[in-house]
Structure formats: structure tokens, C-alpha cells
Amino acid sequence: MGLFYPLTTMEEFLYWEDRPAYPWSCFIRLRFSGCLDRTAFETAVKATLARHPMLTAMLHTVGRGRLQWSVVENPVPIIVWEALPVGGPLPPATHLDLRREIGIRFHVRTEATASDLTIQFHHACCDGAGIFLFMKELLVAYAVAFGAVPSRTRLTPLDPARLAGRGRFGLTVGKLLRMVPKQAVGLLGARQFLMRKPVPVIPHQPCADDSPLPTNYPATLNRLLDLDTTAGVRKASVRYGVTPNDLLTRDLFLALAEWRSHQNIADDGQWLRMMIPMNLRTTADRLLPAANLVSSVFLDRRGQDFVDADRLLRSIHEEMDLIKRLELGFTFIFSTALCRRFFGGLKKQVRADKCTVSCIFTNLGTPFAHVPLPRHERCIVAGNVTLVDVNIVAPVRPYSCVTVAVVLYAHRLSITLHYDPRPLSQEQAADLLDTFVLRIHASIAADARWTA
């Protein structure tokens, strides 16, 4: 008999975020030197999926319209193989319907000396940390299947039984009571969230939920920073006494404001709201298979906040520090749970026709820092292939036509912009991404002048 799981609050929220015109899919592209072996790869996929039930689950309706996960035994995931040139745009994708298939797909392009692996996964199944756990294991499983490393190569032990409690986040009654004073600050933030009216990055009216996808979905652009620039980001953040993520968040806000000015978009004191995912895993979750244990925090800034770059950076650092110290990542979880039980349910709240987020910014950090495989010039070697680059793509939603995702691999920062090509042209999107990169260089240059 298969496994069944009720949806957690965040899983249901992310499911209702999904719609044909705006799929709630994420993508990862791994670029390799060397040609992936099909037999070894498909063996590795099967072995790795067996360790991660949430990636082999589909949704079914039970009872009074209640949704439930049903884990598919011996799943046959979609794996597309193409002998085509690698690099360039991601392969075109379609809406992933969790009622009809499991929440992960694979697309492989190969040529004589290189390969691209693109993975599409539904965000309701797992978050970024979860998919990278899966990816690390997939690389090891591929190396084992290819015969390059011993089959006894150790992976982190996982306990699928812990998935039953994945929506509780380890919160006991005592801990919840101790969190009440902290969450009072979160309630103030929730009030601001409801009272303020953020605007889209570019004024537009979104498509109907059932509209067809653009033919070039997902529309993405990528910039790979060199070693010196990546090191400069870390050095500048240390000098400013902030995290690299604080610095990048500041620079993205400034880039958005500058780009909107170039597009002749009137400011008029309008709020730009940036949504930043927050991983809620603790050390107790180290045995958890891939799942979704993410929340969201929101930063609001407007025209006057962009005048003084140093002051903006300090305010972002102080706000993010407060969020971490007071565990305000849980505020969104608690608020969403209330909406799920009251106020018409989650679908009504999620599908409301209004702008709630201007853009999404996610930083996955260094997800391949600990992989039990050899390296060559900082790059992971898995059998006959070497992982040379990683791109991560976060979803877009109505009114939120821009997402930016960064990941650090082989000491280089990769920045991927996912844009909605219906309100934004490729030229506009490229200009926005270039403006962001130029802002990063400006931050590094300012630090260099300070320390000279």
C-alpha cells in the first residue's frame, strides 16, 4: 500500500499559486563537460527518487474536496533526451499538473563533449534546499552507476518517516508559547503587509489564469560572475558588517529603482515589495528527505529609501537580523494557516486579483559544498562528466513578472533572471539584469576605494 500525506499549509499555498498561465515550477540547469551516459543516468534517477517520496507523489481529492499526497510506487518520471547543442536558453517547458504526474521532470541535451541537465520541479513538492539535497545524491548515484566510485560511497542517512511531521517545524506547545512575544513584532509586519499596496516592477495587467504559456517559457537570462567579482562581494559585505545576501538585496533594490527610472515609470512614492524565501530547517531535520520547509519574508522600500545606498544597506541588514532573531519567518506560516482555516480559505487569498509582491529574490548559497565526489579545479567530477555551472530559476506569478535567483558554485556567483515575456521584452529584461550586475560592481568598487 502506498504512502499518503495530508498537505501542509505551505504546500497547499504553493499548490494554489500554480495555474496554467503561471506555473509554480522551479528549474535547475546543471551544465557538464562530458557526455552524460543515458543508462547510468536513468539508473541514478530511479535510485535517488526512491529516497525522496515527496518527489514521487501526486495529488488526489479526498473527503470534502480536501487534497492529499499519494506517493506513486515505482514512478516513471518524464526524461527527455535530445542530441542538440548545449548552452543557450533553457528547453521550453509546459505546465506541470500534480493531479496528472509526479512533481519532477528531467530534460537532457547532449553533444560530443558537453551535456545540459534541466530539472523542472513543482514548488509544492519541495523547496530549493530539498531539490539540491536530491541533486547531490543524484550526482553520487550517477557516479556509482557509471562505475567511477564504489557502491558503498556514503550518503546522508534519511528517515522518510519524518515526513509525517514536516509541517510542524519542530514547534512544541512550549516553544509556541515562548514565541508569542516575538510574533507580536510579526503582527506589526503583517499589518504593514496588508495596508501597503506594492506595485509591479513594470505596470501591466496579468493574463487570465487559464491563458496559454508563452512559447519561450521559462524565459531566463544568466550572468556568471568571475572569481574576482565573487570574492569582491564577500569582501565588501565583511567590510560593511553585513551578509553577502544583504548586499545583493540592497543592490537589487537599487537596480530596480534605477531600471524603472530608465523605463520612465513614475515613482510617486510607490512601494516595491521583495519576497525572500527563508529556510526553516533545523538540525533536527538533517534526516528529512526532500520536502518543502520554506517560508517567506517581505521587504518593502520606496523612492526615498533609494537615495542613500549606505543607509538602505543598514536598514536591510537590521531588518533581516530582526527577522532571524525573532524567528519572524514563522509569521507568514501562521498567517497563512489562519487564512487556510478562515477568511474563505487559501485559494481565495492566493488568487486575489491584486499585486502583493513586486519581485522575488532567492539566494541558495553554496548547495554543493559537501558532496562525496572528487573535484577538478573546484568543480565536482561525477564519473565521466564534470559539473561546470549551475543555474536556478524561481517562478513568476501574476503581477510579479521578475524573479532573481543566485547560487554559488566553484567560487563563482551565478545570477539567473526569470522574467515574464508578456509584459517584459527580452531587451528590457537584459537591461534589468545588467543594471543589477553593474550595481554589484559598484558596491565592490566603493569598498575598494574605502580600503585603498
Q: What residue segments make up the domains of the chain, in order of their start?
A: 4-150
- Give the burial class of 45: count Cβ atoms within 10 A of its Cβ; 0-12 exposed, 13-18 middle, 19 or more buried: buried
In terms of phi and psi (left: phi > 0; alpha: psi -120 to 50; beta: otherwise), the region of 198 is beta
Positions of the chain with pLDDT under 50: 1
Q: What is the pLDDT of residue 449?
A: 63
> 13: Cβ–Cβ under 8 A, 6 or more apart, which residues?
336, 340, 346, 350
* Rg, C-alpha atoms of the chain: 22
Q: What is the pLDDT of residue 3?
A: 80
Specify whether the CB–CB gap between 397 and 22 falls below 8 A: yes
Cα(374)–Cα(384) distance, rounded to whole angstroms? 12
Cα(84)–Cα(118) distance, rounded to whole angstroms? 13
Q: What is the pLDDT of residue 187?
A: 67
Largest CA distance in the chain: 68
The C-alpha cell at 215 is 512559447
In terms of phi and psi (left: phi > 0; alpha: psi -120 to 50; beta: otherwise), the region of 227 is alpha
Best CATH choice for the domain 4-150 from the list 3.30.2400.10, 1.10.10.10, 3.30.60.50, 3.30.559.10: 3.30.559.10
* Backbone phi and psi for residue 63, each to the nearest 5 degrees, phi listed first: 60, -135
Dihedral of CA 339/344/349/351: which sign?
positive
List the one residue out of 111, 169, 103, 165 whose CA is nearest residue 131.
103
Specify whether the CB–CB gap between 17 and 302 falls below 8 A: no
In 273-409, which residue ranges form alpha helices assigned H by DSSP?
Answer: 309-325, 329-341, 345-350
Specify whether the CB–CB gap between 61 and 98 falls below 8 A: no
Q: What is the pLDDT of residue 1?
A: 43
The C-alpha cell at 442 is 559598484
> 195: Cβ–Cβ under 8 A, 6 or more apart, which residues?
none
End-to-end Cα spacing for the chain: 67
Around Cβ 118, how many Cβ atoms within 10 Å? 21
